Amino acid sequence: MPAPTPIILDCDPGTDDALALLLALASPELDVLAVTAAGGNVGLELTLRNALALTALAGSRAPVYSGADRPLLGAFVNAPRVHGVDGLGGIALPSGGSPAPGIASDAIRAILRSAQRPVTLVGIAPATNLALALASEPKLAGNVERIVLMSGAWGEGNATPAAEFNALNDPEALEILLASGRPVELATLELTAQAQATPERIAALRAAGTGRSLKTACDIQASVPSSPRRGHGAGAPLHDPCAIAYLIRPDLFTTRACSVRMDLGPGPSRGRTVIDRWDSTSAPHNATVLETINADAFFALLGERLARLP
């Protein structure tokens, strides 16, 4: 079996982040060197607490670092309507203890400096922590294998008509990553909308095993209100785990190389990821966009992996 891929997982748990974090920790293909938390879905105090609790729940010793409590400009916009006021839909977890000493961007730089092989950066939150690390020591980009993000949309956003939530929360940070010179791969809203966590799929996940991690994951996802785009009772897209599944099973996805740039203006289009899927501008490709997912195989993978956890 190939050596596991070393990753740093930057997150803002968050209901879908919770399942993504558990999936990463359950997958032997990945070596989670660190978990870094930013504000986003809820404030940093809660996302950090949730990251610690989920890592402990999975029985992992991966260090968890506290990161940015605001974007490079302005303030984070939270989403308690989706994630609940605590970020996990009101599903209580035992305390996960204390974070590792230091702050996320310093920890990311330290890991990249000492890495024996290139590290994959995985971002399922506003990109602030990752951007701070690379912007403050740009040469470390040479130690990055690739950057895999759940971010952006080529059509309508979900936080504004123009912008996806993570991209809107720190578009300057996302622009830094797109300009880093490293391969950037984006799981956008159009991709994650195909991974619809219907009540039937959640029931199938519950039947996959009896561990507390699996049960907690199902309880968390069941708390998420149905997407208004899909209709009452249809469930909600499982956004962030798509980025993790792509690392584990890229064969479940189709992709397209694109030019991607950010709208950084102050108006209603701020945070829009301008994705040129059809080369209409002839701009150089700087990202790979995930376009389709085998949703049934994705949910089967999710159940099989989460059932491995305590």
Residues marked as catalytic: 239
Phi and psi angles of residue 245, each rounded to the nearest 5 degrees, phi first = -60, -35
Given a contact cutoff of 8 angstroms between Cβ atoms, the answer to whether 87 and 42 are in contact is yes
Tokens of 207: 């039947």
Tokens of 290: 């995930």
Q: What is the distance between the alpha carbons of residues 193 and 196, in angstroms, rounded to a whole number?
A: 6
Tokens of 299: 């949910």
Give me the numbers of helices (H) and strands (E) for the chain, helices first please.
12, 11
User: Rg (Cα) of the chain, in Å, rounded?
Assistant: 18
Q: What is the distance between the alpha carbons of residues 228 and 173, in angstroms, rounded to a whole number?
A: 29
Given a contact cutoff of 8 angstroms between Cβ atoms, the answer to whether 17 and 53 are in contact is no
**How many other β-carbons are positioned within 10 Å of the β-carbon of residue 73?**
11
Cis peptide before 102 (omega within 30 of 0): no
SS (H, E, C) 57-77: HCCCCCCEEECCCCCCCCCCC
Tokens of 254: 């189709």
* 3-class SS of residue 44: helix
Smallest Cα–Cα separation from 115: which of 22, 23, 34?
34
Q: Which residue in this structure is represented by tokens 């979900």? A: 158
Q: What is the distance between the alpha carbons of residues 35 and 63, in angstroms, rounded to a whole number?
A: 6
